[in-house]
Amino acid sequence: MVELVAPAGSKDALKAAILGGANAVYLGGKRFGARRLAENFTPGELKAAVRTAHDHDVKVFATVNTLVKEKELSAALSHVDFLVSIDIDAIIVQDRGLLKLIKDNFSIPIHASTQMGIHSPECAAWAKANGIKRVILARELTFFELEKLRRETNIELEFFVHGALCYSYSGQCLFSSLLGGRSGNRGMCAQPCRKLYKLGNKENYMLSTADLCAIDNLPRLVKIGIDAFKIEGRMRSPIYVYLASRIYSNAIARVKKGEEEIITAREKELLETVFNRGFTSGYLEKEQIMQREFPESRGLSLGTGIVRGGILRITSESIRNGDGITLYKNGKKIGGFEVDLSGKNDSEHILIPPFDLQDGEYLVYKTKDGEFSRIQEMIEAFPFQTTKAEERTLRLELPCKKRQRSECELSFYISSIKSLQKILPYASRVYFDWNKQFDEAKRLCNNQGIEIVLMMPRISTEVPETHEESLMVCTLGQIQKYSDRKLYGHYSLNFFNSLTIPKLYQYTFSVELNKDEMKETLAHYDGRLEILAFGKIELMVTKDPTIPEGMLIDELGKRFEVYRDTLGLAHILNSADLLLLDYIDEFSEMGIESIGIDLRRRDAELCELVAKAFFEKRLELKDEIKKRCKSVTHGHYLRGVL
């Protein structure tokens, strides 16, 4: 049976999902959930939610899907212990250290969050091998890729079919984190993708996606063998949850019966009204997912209305008494009101707004349907009795590891031969981009006796073949395929705590950790670690084929480079270079083995300057580096994230 999984960001949303016909809900407590800004649930409410859902044969999946800092591991363990005690049906996890902790202490089913980045058969195989029952797949997958996943794996597959789309691959976005300290990986995303930007001669909501609506694609997804369909929206209203659950539940039933029409005109109208910033079927068949005119929900478009003498005239078959409409002019919201259809001239509605309007044309949207009031009453009447409950406090005792002071090696990220030649005298090793110059780079490094490591693609729906022994890996699929090689973990693998699995030859600390959090992790970890100390951190990696290369400029004038890699993915880099030259001795005292210096796509002179400064610990060269880079930052090294 195909399972419909609905969001429950609040008690009313939970009730709405049950009433709407969802087979399962996903919800979170007040901590460790990827929607920490939703209302969420206290322990007593969680216990009541599970009891209420189970009474109606609805499963409950708990989101514990943020990255977990070292000092939070005990609290996370206590939270999972409580969830198990109230008979939760599964735990949704992103952090691979927490994954290990759950596996070692409980027998509860584990689902891999979309934040874990499962986007290939190899990724799914890694998840299966590590005790995960179900993977919530990346939204970027096509029908072809889903079919391949289903053929080559026997793990449960869950796929988003409705709701908001992240512009970046989930788990790979640092935009909100580095700009304002609010980490998307920690449930605190400030949604910089919904802001206004300039790029080239265009100014619009450059990173703002339309909403996913894949209801027409359900027959093919069912045929592929997707086990569960997921609706996004823990930050959205209970009425949205009810309608999305009801309409998708109806559609699934019609697909099972073999009916051709799987959504009625009225259902489509309600779905578009309750939340709509433009709809897209996502990446399943085509790659047009953007809607750059406005970033907010405007509801159902009714077309253009004309105001003359305080009277609004509009032609539409979708307006009824009790509906709410909102007017926009020149991209700005003017106001809204509830409709009274006392005046009508054939198909033209004559409405009198309760506020003054200048004569002219207005874009009109339906933002409320008269049926919403009935739905709200039904939700409010649904019984939900909160009970008392408390989490017991568990203390996790991790073995202490004494790390020795280390003379840090210098490891350079390089993408061209010209830059490579400039940094070779200072390098302990080189991470070289996957490009046509690798063979020549390998020859030069071998001649100098310097280790060269091939950088794997940031995202690979099919892990490419290579005979290289030393690899920098960026995905779980790459780790799975090349587990017998010498693997260096890229910072995109989100190494956040000492329990992170699997063990690699070397990990790079997450760039979201501050120095105290790194020290706390180092106290319990004896593997090799690297810290990124220079370069433009990647804020986003996206599949969007429409964004051009160039300089993305925000409303404050900050400039973010956009470039496209050899596989066609676009990368957005931070406006400032990370520069931690001052802290080399501190890294050594902490016992960090390697310093990462990212000089890809930089001019050869800057590469040499930075390499010399780090090699010779020349702090006086900072001013010259700053001058060449224009803007530098300590990143999160001194501040960290919420």
Q: Quick check: 7 pLDDT over 70? A: yes
My answer on whether 413 and 345 are in the same domain is: no
382 falls within a domain: no
Among 230, 248, 280, the domain-final residue is 280
- Are 155 and 136 in contact by the 8 Å Cβ rule? The answer is no
Looking at residues 512-518, what average pLDDT do you find?
A: 98
202 falls within a domain: yes
Query: Residues 293-327: pLDDT tens digits?
Result: 999 999 999 999 999 999 999 999 899 989 999 99
Percent of the chain predicted with pLDDT > 70: 99
Looking at residues 381-404, what average pLDDT do you find?
A: 95
How sure is the predictor about 345, in pLDDT bands with cuts at 50, 70 and 90? low
Looking at residues 482-509, what average pLDDT do you find?
A: 98
My answer on whether 273 and 317 are in the same domain is: no
What pLDDT, on a 0 to 100 scale, did the predictor assign at position 346? 64
What pLDDT, on a 0 to 100 scale, did the predictor assign at position 37? 78
Q: Quick check: 600 pLDDT over 70? A: yes
My answer on whether 187 and 323 are in the same domain is: no
How sure is the predictor about 343, in pLDDT bands with cuts at 50, 70 and 90? low
Query: Residues 552-567: pLDDT tens digits?
Result: 999 999 999 999 999 9
559 falls within a domain: no
Specify the range with the lowest mean pLDDT, choosing from 337-346, 353-362, 364-373, 537-546.
337-346
My answer on whether 129 and 12 are in the same domain is: yes
What pLDDT, on a 0 to 100 scale, did the predictor assign at position 38? 79
Domain that holds residue 618: 409-537+574-633
Query: Residues 469-479: pLDDT tens digits?
Result: 999 999 999 99
What pLDDT, on a 0 to 100 scale, did the predictor assign at position 288? 83
Asked if the peptide bond before residue 502 counts as cis, ω within 30 degrees of 0, the response is: yes
My answer on whether 625 and 504 are in the same domain is: yes
Starting at the edge strand found earlier in the chain, the sheet holding 559-564 runs: 202-204, 197-199, 550-553, 559-564, 570-573, 538-542
What pLDDT, on a 0 to 100 scale, did the predictor assign at position 344? 59
CATH number of residue 326's parent domain: 2.40.30
My answer on whether 83 and 212 are in the same domain is: yes
396 falls within a domain: no
Which pTM was predicted?
Answer: 0.97
My answer on whether 239 and 327 are in the same domain is: no
Overall number of domains in the chain:
3
CATH number of residue 44's parent domain: 3.20.20.70
Q: Quick check: 515 pLDDT over 70? A: yes
What pLDDT, on a 0 to 100 scale, did the predictor assign at position 1? 83
My answer on whether 174 and 84 are in the same domain is: yes
Among 280, 308, 339, the domain-final residue is 280
What pLDDT, on a 0 to 100 scale, did the predictor assign at position 542? 98
Alpha-carbon gap, residue 431 to 340, rounded angstroms: 67
Evaluated on CA atoms 289, 294, 298, 300, the torsion sign reads negative
My answer on whether 359 and 497 are in the same domain is: no
How sure is the predictor about 35, in pLDDT bands with cuts at 50, 70 and 90? confident
243 falls within a domain: yes
My answer on whether 210 and 340 are in the same domain is: no
Q: Give 370-401 as a DSSP string.
A: THHHHHHHHHHHS--------PPPP---PPP-
61 falls within a domain: yes
81 falls within a domain: yes
My answer on whether 212 and 117 are in the same domain is: yes
Looking at residues 19-43, what average pLDDT do you find?
A: 91
Q: Which helix (H) or strand (E) holds 304?
A: strand 300-308
My answer on whether 361 and 314 are in the same domain is: yes
Alpha-carbon gap, residue 65 to 28, rounded angstroms: 9
Structure tokens at 375: 């739905």
Specify the range with the lowest mean pLDDT, choosing from 288-292, 428-432, 530-534.
288-292
What pLDDT, on a 0 to 100 scale, did the predictor assign at position 81? 98
